[in-house]
Amino acid sequence: MGFKSGWLDGEVMVLNENGLPDFQALQNAFDSSRTQNIIYYVFDVPFYDGHDLRATLLVERREFLKQLFATRSSETVRFSATFDVPASEIIVSACRMGLEGLIGKRKDSAYVSRRSPNWIKLKCCQRKEFVTGGYTDPQGTRIGIGSLLLGFYDKEQKLRYAGNVGTGFSDKSLRDLKAQLDKVAATANPFSNATGVGRKVHWVRPELVAEVSFAEWTREEHIRHSVFHGLRIDKKAA
């Protein structure tokens, strides 16, 4: 694209048919080395052409970045646009679209390589990594699995059942997930507290980590309104 030497900060993603980020599709793209659909959205520029821009105000860095993209066109590397509307309005829109949330940044903030109160996460829902301990059979025309049984390790390092997740899958992810689960099939229940889980359950060794979003925890420490986002192959169940 003709950029000079520098650092561009952003996020890579794959968009689904509705134009929304698809975490599972991104993971599949990396796993299969088919990266042609990956898009890099650039939102900051801490260094450029030998200049350290970290102390420059965010609003000025982004204006500079916008000008860099003004004369350059690419489908795979794009400028992440600013929405000049109240945060309360944009977070509502993001949640309605099914996004995980937003990052809010003060316009006068510097660029720092650590946590900062000037940059905050505005989440639509809770998101957590759970250990998979089993799955149920699919119903009707569904393939692969019905739902995943999820758990977390408590202070005594016992795996506690935290509920099921049965949404957020595509046909391909269901097939891929079933293949992964078959590799860790087990005969014993890995949970310390799993009772009344419903339909026939197939147990697995607690080795796979699933990233799941959900609305809330119940008093029984089960999750409600959960959505599957993908397996974290970079994380160990511990």
Tens digit of each residue's pLDDT (9 = 90 or more) over 38-68: 999 999 999 999 999 999 999 999 999 999 9
The type of residue at 209 is V
CATH of 6-123, one of 3.30.470.30, 3.30.9.10, 2.40.340.10, 3.40.50.10860: 3.30.470.30
Sign of the torsion formed by the C-alpha atoms of 118, 122, 222 and 211:
negative
Give the chain's radius of gyration (CA, Å).
Answer: 21
CB 231 within 8 A of CB 180: yes
Strand pairing class (77-79; 39-48): parallel
How far apart are the C-alpha atoms of 60 and 105, rounded to whole Å? 13
Residue in 119, 134, 146, 136 with CA at minimum distance from that of residue 210: 134
Q: What is the pLDDT of residues 137-178, one digit of tens each?
A: 998 999 999 999 999 999 999 999 999 999 999 899 999 999
Kindly report the backbone phi and psi dihedral angles of residue 62, in degrees, each rounded to the nearest multiple of 5, phi listed first.
Answer: -70, -35
Helix (H) or strand (E) holding 68: helix 58-70
Extents of the domains making up the chain: 6-123, 126-231
Mean pLDDT of 186-194: 88
Q: Do domains 6-123 and 126-231 have the same CATH topology?
A: no
- The reported pTM is 0.56
- C-alpha span between 140 and 143 (Å, rounded): 8
Q: Distance between the two ends of the chain, CA-based, in angstroms?
A: 43
- DSSP helix/strand/coil, 29: helix
Are the beta carbons of 84 and 49 closer than 8 angstroms? no
The tally of CA atoms less than 13 A away on the side-chain side of residue 118 is 12
The topology under which CATH files domain 126-231 is: OB fold (Dihydrolipoamide Acetyltransferase, E2P) (2.40.50)
